[in-house]
Structure 1
Amino acid sequence: MAGLRHSLAARVTALFMLIVALAAAGLGTYLYVSFVAEIERRDDVALLGKLRQIQLLLGRPGAAGLLDTQPGLFRDTMSGQENSLVRFLAPDGTVLADINAGSERYPVPAAAGTSPDRAAIADWTGSRGDPGRVVAGTARVGDRTVTVVVARLYAERSAMFARYRGRIAGAAALSALAVALCAALILRRGLRPLRVVAAHAALVRPGTLARRLDAAGAPSELLPLVDALNAMLARLQEGYARLSGFSTDLAHEFRTPIANLLGQSQVMLAQPRTVAEYENLVASNIEELERLARMIESMLFLARAQQDEVLPERRPLQAADELAKVAGFFEGMAEERGLRLACTGAGVVHADPALLRRALANLVSNAVRHADEGSTIVLSAHAADDAVELGVENTGAPIAPEYLPHLFERFYRADSARGDAGGSAGLGLSITGAIMALHGGSAGVVAEGTKVRFTLSFPAASHPAHP
């Protein structure tokens, strides 16, 4: 029962059944009321016609004697009207004649003259509970005026109405059942595309993410769902591929320092060494361990950033001051390679100070590693109406256009012409991209020949971002 209660087809079928039952019942009620009103009207017209017929009969010569001596003659005028009752009353209320074989007691309404209408007809109920109608009118009999009362019971009419109501109820029930059956069949056929979608979803595995739902035969109402599922599968495929690549890259990045640690330690322990050699080994191992620690810290930051666990505390910061601070930090490293750091531009950046400096530091560190000796690294700021852009530009080995879209991916490194990457884990630019995503901004890169420019675009104060 719980399955039926939660079944879309069952609920829609029940709804259709209810709608049809209500519609059929409403239509049947309307027809029944109209039918009853018409039958009652026709019976009232017949009752008034019978009264008129008796009035005409009483107006003939000799009718007074007939009324006194042969009242049964008036029964004959009621042929086919066995349930009709007739009473003649003198002006003083004396009953002159009463045609009432069943001894029914019925009220005598006030006489409505010689030409009563339907408004003069009154209701009454027979001894067996059958409904009846009665009307009274006047007629001239010789030199006197008598009151003629005509009444009738409608036992057969009540039975006919009851049968009619039963037929209407039966027709409504049968219509509802027929519609329920048709609706169930139509829904089963109409929901077949959903079953196909469900069957396809059940087959989704890491190795089947490349398969897509066929939208050619789907109804137009399901096309948005099919398109959304195909887009979801595409994102899953892309995410799974990136996860697989990330796992491979991670294993490769961890394997190198671990292999160095094991190899150096095994060689050192192969034979007795001096204290200085052991100290050199420990120092080398510390360097590798520090590299691993930095890599793990960077990966944890990226994981937290993707889960929105890193919430930037935005403050208005002078871009020129932030560029100068980062340039001062890398000044000694730049001098070792004969590089110069220049800062230009101004503007106000709404960002987390620590995260902004980390992003800039990653770009400047990358520029210092890859810039040509003796060149100048330019740190710039440019304010526009809807954004503030910070840039780090250097001159060095060119980057092929096909590498540019991947520079902010984890563990990605461009071609070897970019210099020695041994000191880098390939996570700095991806961290920069994550920081910009937290601020609602974007990180980009443009390469023109030997000039490479990395940019950080922050939303302006009038366009605040929500992480």
Structure 2
Amino acid sequence: MKARLSLTARLTILFSLSSAVVLLGLGVLIWLAMDSHFADEDYAVLDDNVRLVRKIAAEGPMASLPQRLGQALEHHPGFVAEVRNADGQRVYATHGFDFGPAQAVATAAQRDTFAWEQRGQAYRGLRAVAQVPGAGALRIVVGMDTALHAHFMQAFRKSLAFYTALAALASGLLGWWAARRGLAPLRTMASRARTVTAHKLDERMPVEAVPVEMADLAATLNAMLARLQDDFRRLSEFSSDLAHELRTPITNLMTQTDVVLSQPRDAAKYREVLASNAEELQRLARMVSDMLFLAKMEHGITLPSAEPITLEQEVAALFDFYDALAEDKGVQLRQRGSGRITGDRLMVRRALSNLLSNALRHATAGKPIMVTIVPRAQAGADAVDIVVENEGETIPPEFVPSLFDRFSRADKSRARPESDGTGLGLAITQAIMAAHGGAIAAESIAGRTRFVLTFRARREQDIVRT
């Protein structure tokens, strides 16, 4: 497996390279500026020498010009000169120096200033024409050896390379130190994260102690840990509740079976025990079926079918189904309002049935159960609310947020009510509402409990199907 560089190493390398490039670029600019400065100085000196030649040529006769130029120019080390008359005849030239390359460069370049190399030496030159009374036009070519400047520039380049490398190394060390210090909060967060286990989910990232660039990451991780802690808590509670819910019917089945098998019984007793066992098995079957339905809804929230649904008709059909039970409990079922939605008919009916069954279980005898259908606008879109309301015992406020958890019971002793409910009805109703893109809410104040189903109006083609 290819080794990966740490973030500190990457930042150090990038910082070192950036510093080296910046320093090298600065050094090149300085080098070019110095070379240009030396060239300007050299050409300024050459220009002074041209003026000197003009002055000497103008001060005496043409015949003595070579002697006078020699006396004036031969005392300048590294300086060379050549003077020709209008006919191209050489009047003066530095002894032992070949001006052929200089003349060729000057002619070809057609410039006043030029540079050339001769015998391994670099020269800068200047070409000029001087009008001398009595001698006519003189062509003057002067040059000077740049060895001194070249030697200085070579030494400067070596120094520049050395100090650039040294500065890049120093920048790398400082960059490593800065990156390590700057990434220290990440290492702190990593050490905190390593302490998080299934039994220790209360650890949080230090939001206030990290830079602002990492504060958002720390806050996001804290929110994730909070969700995990809450989900883990709910999962633990669900596991405990599930074990309790399964243990009770299984214990009943085992106890009754052991008792009836402890000694011979008549056929009527066996039938009685088998009927009781069948009821417990039906309860277990309903619980398993509800659990499978919830698992399917949570892992793929889709609708098997979608069709227009007239809500008042569905409520009336459920009233017919629960009419006998309501009469036994002395409770009246009332309905008002109307509305239409698009969704799965069986799911919507099951959600309403769960709420009606829950209301009948907890309603006070002689008090009505009211189902109200209210079309309304929600965030610029059409929506329909279905309110199921009954009077009965007030649900404690601290318990209301967990009403839709699996096996949720207000009675913490988990005493089974007289009904055969599995404690999954409200959780299933919430899953159905999520599949329809809606929501469910509950409130219980002064003995009046309300459940509100909110369906967002959607077209049939907008519904996702399996």
Mark yes or no: TM-score above 0.5: yes
**1:115 matched residue in structure 2:** none
Deviates more, 1:269-278 or 1:75-84: 75-84
Q: Is the 8 A contact 1:312 1:355 kept in 2?
A: no
How far did 1:270 drift? 0.7
Structure 1: runs of 5+ lacking an equivalent: 113-117
Deviations 1:231-260 (A, max 9, x none): 222222222211111111111100000001
**1:207 matched residue in structure 2:** 199
Deviates more, 1:162-171 or 1:340-349: 162-171
Residues 158 and 421 (structure 1), Cα distance of their counterparts in 2 relative to 1, 3 Å cut: farther
Task: Return the alpha-carbon distance in structure 2 between the equivalents of residues 339 and 110 of structure 1.
Answer: 118
Deviations 1:427-448 (A, max 9, x none): 1111112222222222122334
**1:452 matched residue in structure 2:** 449
**1:406 matched residue in structure 2:** 402
SS in 2 for 1:81: coil
Task: Return the alpha-carbon distance in structure 2 between the equivalents of residues 385 and 80 of structure 1.
Answer: 105
Matched, 1:420 2:412: no
Task: Return the alpha-carbon distance in structure 1 between the equivalents of residues 13 and 240 of structure 2.
Answer: 55
1:282-361 matches, within 5 Å, as 282-311=274-303, 313-361=305-353
Q: Is the 8 A contact 2:257 2:273 kept in 1?
A: yes
How far did 1:426 drift? 0.9
1:179-194 matches, within 5 Å, as 179-194=171-186
User: RMSD of aligned C-alpha atoms?
Assistant: 3.0
SS in 1 for 2:139: strand
SS in 2 for 1:321: helix
**1:396 matched residue in structure 2:** 392
Deviates more, 1:419-428 or 1:46-55: 419-428
SS in 2 for 1:453: strand
Q: Is the 8 A contact 2:123 2:146 kept in 1?
A: yes
**2:83 matched residue in structure 1:** 88
Task: Return the alpha-carbon distance in structure 2 between the equivalents of residues 395 and 323 of structure 1.
Answer: 19
How far did 1:35 drift? 1.5
Identity %: 36
Task: Return the alpha-carbon distance in structure 2 between the equivalents of residues 80 and 379 of structure 1.
Answer: 120
Q: Is the 8 A contact 1:139 1:147 kept in 2?
A: no
Task: Return the alpha-carbon distance in structure 2 between the equivalents of residues 145 and 444 of structure 1.
Answer: 109
SS in 1 for 2:214: helix
Task: Return the alpha-carbon distance in structure 2 between the equivalents of residues 100 and 331 of structure 1.
Answer: 133
**1:276 matched residue in structure 2:** 268
TM-score (norm 2): 0.88
**2:101 matched residue in structure 1:** 106
Task: Return the alpha-carbon distance in structure 1 between the equivalents of residues 398 and 211 of structure 2.
Answer: 41
Task: Return the alpha-carbon distance in structure 1 between the equivalents of residues 86 and 427 of structure 2.
Answer: 116
Q: Which amino acid aligns with 2:58?
A: G
Structure 2: runs of 5+ lacking an equivalent: none
**1:377 matched residue in structure 2:** 369
Q: Which amino acid aligns with 1:24?
A: L
Q: Is the 8 A contact 2:125 2:141 kept in 1?
A: no
Task: Return the alpha-carbon distance in structure 2 between the equivalents of residues 142 and 406 of structure 1.
Answer: 119
Task: Return the alpha-carbon distance in structure 2 between the equivalents of residues 242 and 213 of structure 1.
Answer: 23
Task: Return the alpha-carbon distance in structure 2 between the equivalents of residues 16 and 111 of structure 1.
Answer: 48
TM-score (norm 1): 0.88
**2:164 matched residue in structure 1:** 172
Task: Return the alpha-carbon distance in structure 2 between the equivalents of residues 6 and 312 of structure 1.
Answer: 51
**2:250 matched residue in structure 1:** 258
Matched, 1:240 2:238: no
Residues 454 and 93 (structure 1), Cα distance of their counterparts in 2 relative to 1, 3 Å cut: closer
Q: Is the 8 A contact 1:126 1:153 kept in 2?
A: no
Task: Return the alpha-carbon distance in structure 1 between the equivalents of residues 306 and 164 of structure 2.
Answer: 69
Task: Return the alpha-carbon distance in structure 2 between the equivalents of residues 217 and 107 of structure 1.
Answer: 73
**2:426 matched residue in structure 1:** 429
Q: Which amino acid aligns with 2:169?
A: L
SS in 2 for 1:446: strand
SS in 1 for 2:260: helix
**2:46 matched residue in structure 1:** 47
Task: Return the alpha-carbon distance in structure 2 between the equivalents of residues 111 and 282 of structure 1.
Answer: 123
**1:438 matched residue in structure 2:** 435
Deviations 1:271-310 (A, max 9, x none): 1112222222222111111101111111222222222354
Matched, 1:35 2:30: no
**1:198 matched residue in structure 2:** 190
Deviates more, 1:134-143 or 1:366-375: 134-143
Deviates more, 1:140-149 or 1:260-269: 140-149
How far did 1:418 drift? 11
Q: Is the 8 A contact 1:370 1:418 kept in 2?
A: no
Question: What is the aligned counterpart of 2:73 among 74, 78, 82?
Answer: 78
Q: Is the 8 A contact 2:301 2:435 kept in 1?
A: no
